[in-house]
Amino acid sequence: MDREANLPGLPVTSQNLSRVSRPLILSSSSNCSSSSSPDFVRHVQAALKRYRPLGTMQSESLRPRRVLVPRREPLKGTDKSQDVVSLRNANAECESIDQRESVVAVAGEVPDDLSISPPSVVGTITEAHDQNLGPFRVKGDQSKPDLDLNLHNGDVISSAFVASQHLPAVDGPKKVQIALGSNVDSQKMECDGSNQVETSPVNDQDLKQRDFQQSEMLDISTRSNGVISSLLANRSALYQDQQQQLMEFIGKDISQSMTQSSVVGSTCATTTSVHSSSAPMLYSATYCSCHRNSGSHMDIEPLEEFKANPQPIAQGSAVRPCSTFQCNRGVVVNQTAIPTQASTSAFDTSLVVNDNGSLKGQQDSNVKEAEQSHDAHVDHGKSSQFNDKPTKVKEFQGAGSNVISQAPSTRNSSSNLKLEPSKSEKPEKALSGKGASVRKKNYDADLFFKVNGKLFQKLGKIGSGGSSEVYKVISADCAIYALKRIKLKGRDYSTAYGFCQEIEYLNKLKGKNNIIQLIDYEVTDKTLLKEVMSGSVNTKDGRIKDDGYIYMVLEYGEIDLAHMLSQKWKNMDSSNWSIDENWLRFYWQQILQAVNTIHEERIVHSDLKPANFLLVKGSLKLIDFGIAKAIMSDTTNIQRDSQVGTLSYMSPEAFMCNENDANGNMIKCGRPSDIWSLGCILYQMVYGRTPFAEYTTFWAKFKVITDRNHKITYGPVSNPWLLDLMKKCLAWDRNERWRIPQLLQHHFLVPPVSPELSLPRYKSCKLLQLMAEAYGNDYETSRLFSDLQQILTDPVSMLSSQLSTPRDQHCELLSQMSRLCYQVRQHIASLGKQ
Ligand SMILES: Nc1ncnc2c1ncn2[C@@H]1O[C@H](COP(=O)(O)OP(=O)(O)OP(=O)(O)O)[C@@H](O)[C@H]1O
């Protein structure tokens, strides 16, 4: 497809030159014809008349088509001849990319209650992770130079063509025509074989295929239908309306220049031409917005200062391959709506990209929804030039150091790049309940999250929990994070408070290296956050009606324990499995340490399960404090309104929370409840299933777990200390469960030396020494002695911080001692009988 050979070069005219300085390159047909090749314009008009009946606009917009016809024009004051620049799409590349993209969401959660080696689950996550780790290259049509993408499976992938290699040396301004189809499934769009960027004369067919999707965009065809003047008037009005909004938003007096731009916009009317010396930037915009939203229109508009002070652009400043950057691990990231240095290129600063990536022809109607959900295809109104530009520049210039700049891409070049203001610059409602202000998105919400003004590009969905979606994202400085997004709308207030509390806990736990670290967060409903943070939470009835999200930027974890476990079991030959004790010790200790950290902070997690331990750079870290509770200073338990947790890991008291026990005391949850959950996790690590996995319904589980006489079955294990450890955690009576400091000293983690060698340990207690000499070879007796020894010699480590007063703690120690003495007595007695 070398149609560029056929593209007639435009004659170099003074009008062409002057158009370089025209800010909004939205010249009317008449302007076009006067300022450009008359033949060219006639072509355009003829084509539009023939192929753009108004009624077909939407249906035609279904077609993701074409067309980049960048045309070089000389700079003002230069005498360089025009060149035709061709940009190509590579459908093969698109296919590759999209195939990978379809794998994005594979890393979902595995069931909490993992049974041994469920292959499908294991396979899914493993593949996802493996693939994530393995960058691959997508080579497209070899005839098309330099498509060289490093991609991550599961990532939202942006391709980058090295446009500069498609382009002749850029000597002057370029004219670019880009058509983006829309209304098409994005993947289909991107793979659509017709999505070729053709370099061609602007012929009828091209124009026919050009998609003018947005009603407020001036469509040339409407002009051809004789309504141009009214549309122009509308357009001008709309544009002024936008300006008004912007002015309100940024509070600046830009009325004069805005008026000017409005005038320019309206008189220039619509054309799909961009004249700039910085064509790469245009491509960059094209490329960016085309990513995923292949069917998008893009409106490009010059920045205000450019309009106000049109300058020809020096070539050197024009070619700034900054639209995409390649970050570590081969992730290609585009820098979509991120203009670079404002000062260097008038074209840069002139870009306003409206990426109306609606899939099914939705326009304004879907904006609200799209804004609510970044997953939806979104209309991206970008008004960066007026107020957000400095921020954006600041935000992303920081990325430079780690970035391998690439020339702009034409990958998704089925763009319809329109150079006019558009109503599609959708306002983004500030999501606060009251006083919602209107601001405009200056980024592609389909590709980016903005948290506290910082952009994070989506690389893929990691998983979703009961209440959230978690994405892998990359920041401007190329750091990978997990971004947890919780939708507030429709939730009851207490749940929403809980989510905000998670932020509170994570803030409190900052710097603790076995807790996932919160990098940044934003609660769009400021009132809600304020209430939680100030502790003035009055549980309101009803549900949250306003759109609102909680965004949490977190350290990124490679894999969670649930998936590690299923992988482990998958790798074992199930007929001949035996647990790897060192592996178990290694991770069990980390689990204990993580939970110890929060217990020391008087936080009960309440939802401990393998999926909530993440492997971050080789260490397990605890996540998901969504239902965690702080223990009030005057108690050892937390108050819960309802049963919470994940069934398979819920303690008996969590099931019976707030009920009365046999003595009429209210059953409460506290740290022992977490210990029970840990016992379930340990059990699962040992046997590959949770202790009550065979009871599948809620009621069956409820019944058996709350039955104190139910005996948990333990399969044989080679190490009796391991068995003992599980029993210590899964004692039905919460007072009998060991606390974490004890568990960290348990002989499974700290194996005892042989009885003879351990005798000196008992030196401090003659009674124990005597007993150990007599019965030390018996496993159970030596275990009991060991526990007794610990209470006697190191009671401090046994003190439970859950007990508020020293007296309670002493009583508890004595109770434990008497229980142990009783057990020793019983056991020794039984030995005599054997
Ligand atoms: N920091 C992170 N890094 C990588 N993956 C993460 C991270 N945080 C969460 N995930 C993944 O997302 C999943 C859901 O996260 P999380 O448990 O925090 O959400 P949730 O909505 O609170 O879920 P739940 O239903 O368990 O309460 C996790 O199981 C994990 O696989």
For residue 468, which atom of ligand 1 is closest to its CA?
21
Residue 485 is predicted with a pLDDT of 92
Residue 568 is predicted with a pLDDT of 84
Q: What is d(CA 26, CA 6) in angstroms, rounded to the nearest whole number?
A: 25
Complex-level ipTM? 0.97
Q: What is d(CA 346, CA 309) in angstroms, rounded to the nearest whole number?
A: 9
- Residue ranges of alpha helices (H) inside 442-580 are 493-508, 526-534, 561-571
Identify whether the C-beta of residue 210 lies closer than 8 Å to the C-beta of residue 107: no
Which long-range contacts link 8-11 to residues 24+ away (Cβ below 8 Å)?
8/37, 8/39, 8/40, 8/201, 9/71, 9/81, 9/82, 9/83, 9/84, 10/36, 10/37, 10/40, 10/71, 10/73, 10/82, 10/175, 11/37, 11/82
Identify whether the C-beta of residue 792 lies closer than 8 Å to the C-beta of residue 765: yes
CA of 614 to the centre of ligand 1 (A): 9
CA of 674 to the centre of ligand 1 (A): 18
Q: Which of the residues in the chain have pLDDT under 50?
A: 1-37, 44, 46-236, 238-239, 242, 245-438
Q: What is the chain's length?
A: 834
Question: pTM for this structure?
Answer: 0.48
Residue 766's φ and ψ, nearest 5 degrees, are -60, -40
- The 3-class SS string of 731-755 reads CCCCCCCCCHHHHHHCCCCCCCCCH
For residue 554, which atom of ligand 1 is closest to its CA?
1
* Ligand 1 pocket: which of 110, 468, 472, 549 to mutate (most atoms within 8 A of CB): 468
Q: What is d(CA 377, CA 502) in angstroms, rounded to the nearest whole number?
A: 29
CA of 700 to the centre of ligand 1 (A): 27
Q: What is d(CA 153, CA 832) in angstroms, rounded to the nearest whole number?
A: 65
* Ligand 1 pocket: which of 614, 615, 649 to mutate (most atoms within 8 A of CB): 614
Running DSSP on this structure, what letter comes out for residue 431?
-
- At residue 375's C-alpha, the angle toward residues 370 and 377, to 5°, is 50
Residue 765 is predicted with a pLDDT of 79
Residue 255 is predicted with a pLDDT of 36
Provide the annotated active-site residues.
Answer: 607
Give whole-number Cα distances, 290 to 261, 412, 413, 419, in Å: 26, 5, 7, 15
Residues annotated within a binding site for ATP: 484
Residue nearest to atom 14 of ligand 1 (CA): 465
Residue 802 is predicted with a pLDDT of 57
Residue 318 is predicted with a pLDDT of 33
Element (H, E) at 679: helix 671-687
Identify whether the C-beta of residue 312 lies closer than 8 Å to the C-beta of residue 22: no
CA of 107 to the centre of ligand 1 (A): 11
CA of 492 to the centre of ligand 1 (A): 21
Residue 801 is predicted with a pLDDT of 59
Residue type at position 231: L
Residue 203 is predicted with a pLDDT of 42
Residue 673 is predicted with a pLDDT of 93
Running DSSP on this structure, what letter comes out for residue 398?
G
Residue type at position 487: K
CA of 109 to the centre of ligand 1 (A): 8
The b/e string for 252-279 (b: 16+ C-beta within 10 A; e otherwise) is: eebeebbeebbebbbebbbbbbbbbbbb
Residue nearest to atom 21 of ligand 1 (CA): 465
DSSP string computed for 615-637: EETTEEEE---TT-EEPPTT-SE
Residues 6 or more apart whose Cβ sits within 8 Å of residue 770: none
Residue type at position 348: D
For residue 467, which atom of ligand 1 is closest to its CA?
21
For residue 558, which atom of ligand 1 is closest to its CA?
4
Residue nearest to atom 24 of ligand 1 (CA): 465
Q: What is d(CA 700, CA 703) in angstroms, rounded to the nearest whole number?
A: 5
CA of 470 to the centre of ligand 1 (A): 6
Peptide bond into 12 cis (omega under 30): no
Q: What is d(CA 91, CA 192) in angstroms, rounded to the nearest whole number?
A: 7
- Residue 132, Ramachandran bin (φ over 0: left; ψ between -120 and 50: alpha; else beta): alpha
What lines the ligand 1 site, CB under 6 Å?
Answer: 109, 462-463, 465-468, 470, 482, 484, 516, 554-557, 560, 611-612, 614, 623-624, 626
Residue 791 is predicted with a pLDDT of 81
Give whole-number Cα distances, 772 to 645, 779, 783, in Å: 43, 11, 10
Residue nearest to atom 5 of ligand 1 (CA): 557
For residue 466, which atom of ligand 1 is closest to its CA?
25
Sheet containing 404-406: which strands, arranged edge to edge? 332-334, 324-326, 404-406
For residue 627, which atom of ligand 1 is closest to its CA?
27
Residue nearest to atom 9 of ligand 1 (CA): 470
CA of 119 to the centre of ligand 1 (A): 21
* Ligand 1 pocket: which of 106, 124, 461, 470 to mutate (most atoms within 8 A of CB): 470
Identify whether the C-beta of residue 108 lies closer than 8 Å to the C-beta of residue 466: no
* Ligand 1 pocket: which of 560, 609, 650, 677 to mutate (most atoms within 8 A of CB): 560
Residues annotated within a binding site: 484
